[in-house]
Amino acid sequence: MIKKIDMNSTEFQTQFELTKQFTDKVLDRFGFVYNPENDVNESVQQGLTRNKMIYEKRFCPCFMVVGQTKQEQKEADNRLCPCKPALEVEIPRDGKCHCGIFCTPEFAKNEALKNEVSEVTHTHSRGLTKQECEVLLQKEQIDADELESLLEARLLKYIDFNLVDTREWMEWVGQRIKGCDYLVPTTSFYQSIEQLQNQKEKPVVVYCLSGSRSAYCQKVMYDLGFKCVSNLDYGIMTYKGATISGEDE
């Protein structure tokens, strides 16, 4: 039978405050910090509170609790926060636990920077810094706003990268993103990619019409030894920045 918990009740709010004190102590004990996304922390704290009220233990809310009795739950080795897999594997390996609430300072700092980059690129409140550009070029997928911001930063010489069109020559002539450096058609990819043979250390952004062909080329480029390749998600059809046409730049 499902036990219904009223999150507005005095009992829940009291337990919720106790849970927040509990997670604060976990941070102090292990030298962790909270996730920069406050919604993540609150959601996990609410889940821990519900489990505390239902099972009398703060089982990890991201996993099901196995067993009807306390003995069965103990034998099932349910994750009890802060759980052993998080402390011994997930946080050392990933920088955060599976639920995301407990993070290393380094991971949290990097995530906060990513959030700032996302805010800047999508609101166009200012230009990107060199560090923000470097973070953005580490992403496997970037969107049209992010590419536009990167191209603006490249003009200011904050960052350098190659922009590669993986469509066919006819499409490239018809319309391409202004600032495109190379045409590497998917149908003749292995011959055309030789243009970048000596630039494998330089970051690359690839695009096509919808993002599918370029995603395929992205994978091949990694196989060929390119170090950093980002794909324009959904391709040129989502790009609102400057474009050009014709055979000449």
pLDDT of residue 249: 58
Q: pLDDT tens, 109-131?
A: 999 998 889 888 888 878 899 99
Angle at 234 between CA 231 and CA 239, to 5 degrees: 95
Residue 4 confidence (pLDDT) above 70? yes
Residue 64 has pLDDT above 90, yes or no: no
**pLDDT at 59 > cutoff 90:** yes
Q: Would you state the pLDDT for residue 70?
A: 85
| Percent of the chain predicted with pLDDT > 70 | 98
Confidence band of 185 (pLDDT split at 50, 70, 90): very high
Residue 123's pLDDT is what?
A: 86
> Which residue carries 């350098």 as its tokens?
160
Element (H, E) at 105: helix 105-123
Q: Which two tokens mark 132?
A: 């923000």
Over residues 134-160, the pLDDT tens digits come to: 999 999 999 999 999 999 999 999 999
3, pLDDT greater than 80: no
Using alpha carbons, select from 138, 129, 86, 104 the residue that is nearest to residue 36: 104
pLDDT the model gives residue 68: 84
pLDDT reading at 248 higher than 80: no
User: Encoding tokens for residue 107?
Assistant: 């991971």
Using CA atoms, how far apart are residues 139 and 53, in angstroms rounded to an integer?
40
Nearest to 57 by CA among 40, 43, 74, 42: 74
